[in-house]
Amino acid sequence: MTAQHARETWGLTAYDTKIYEFCYGTYEPPRRPHDGELPPVDFISSCFRQPFSEGSSHSVGGLTHPARILDFVMRKTLLPRSGYRDRFTHIQQWLIAHLVDQREFNIWDLIVSEIEDTIAEGFMGRCQLPYTHWLTYLIFRARADPLPPHIQRELTNIVRVFPHYDPRQMMRTHVDLRAPAPPPTPHGRSPPASPRATHSSGAVPETEEEQDVAIGSVADAEA
């Protein structure tokens, strides 16, 4: 499995810009504990509500609405993060700044760097190995021998079900973790099911405009 093969399979371009190098320089994995360099003010300014200048807070609460939505989406896709919702790490800031200003960067290098850090942290780290389904797809595609029919059918279904990023997937699995626990009931009766474990069952938005509004609402709730 080569980087060129992975990029061809996913349709990625080998841009020279490497976000991990901007943030962590020459540090060896694991790099996340070093926190990294903060993006320059003029580079990150478009992500935050104005006025924004040297010394301004880089907190999630100060993000513009588009930047907040991008941060929410990236935490569940390209730069997986769980917990610490109020923390806006330096590597997250570099990524969101590139996305907000539509700057080109090397996506494959970012994925590999995240995997390197997760492996290097080992059992001491708190991050699980991300991109499992993407890597499995790459491995199957790299096989020289014909795949068994049932595996080939599964791969075909994956391409049909997930042809591109679809925000509606997150709407189907969003869980409101901040919902209050139900009050105790008298006479030892079991309380109703907690909304903490209830998945959203509302209507799935169909148009791109409806999806944008729905994901924006979820991002606001996560903030």
In tens, the pLDDT along 102-137 reads 999 999 999 999 888 888 887 666 666 678 777 777
- Report the C-alpha gap between 65 and 216 in whole angstroms: 8
38 has a pLDDT exceeding 90:
yes
**In 3D, which of 170, 96, 79 has the Cα closest to residue 131?**
79
What pLDDT sits at residue 41? 95
Mean pLDDT lowest among 42-56, 93-107, 133-147, 172-186: 172-186
- In this prediction, residue 167 has a pLDDT band, given cuts at 50, 70 and 90, of very low
DSSP conformational letter for 33: G
Alpha-carbon distance 144 to 153, whole Å? 17
pLDDT in tens, 68-107: 999 998 988 888 877 667 788 999 999 999 999 999 999 9
The three-point CA angle 85-216-47 to 5° equals 65
**Bridge-partner residues for 48, per DSSP?**
63
**Is it the case that residue 196 has pLDDT exceeding 60?**
no
Question: Residue 181 above 60 pLDDT?
Answer: no
Residue type, 119: I
State the average pLDDT for the chain: 76
Residue 106: phi, psi to the nearest 5? -85, 100
- Give how far Cα 211 sits from Cα of 102, 160, 171, 172, 202, Å: 21, 20, 9, 12, 13
Query: What average pLDDT does the segment 61-71 reach?
Result: 93
Whether 67 shows a pLDDT value over 60: the answer reads yes
pLDDT for 184 equals: 54
Q: Domain spans of the chain?
A: 3-130+208-222
* Buried b or exposed e, range 75-91, using 16+ CB within 10 angstroms: bbebbebeeeeeebbbb
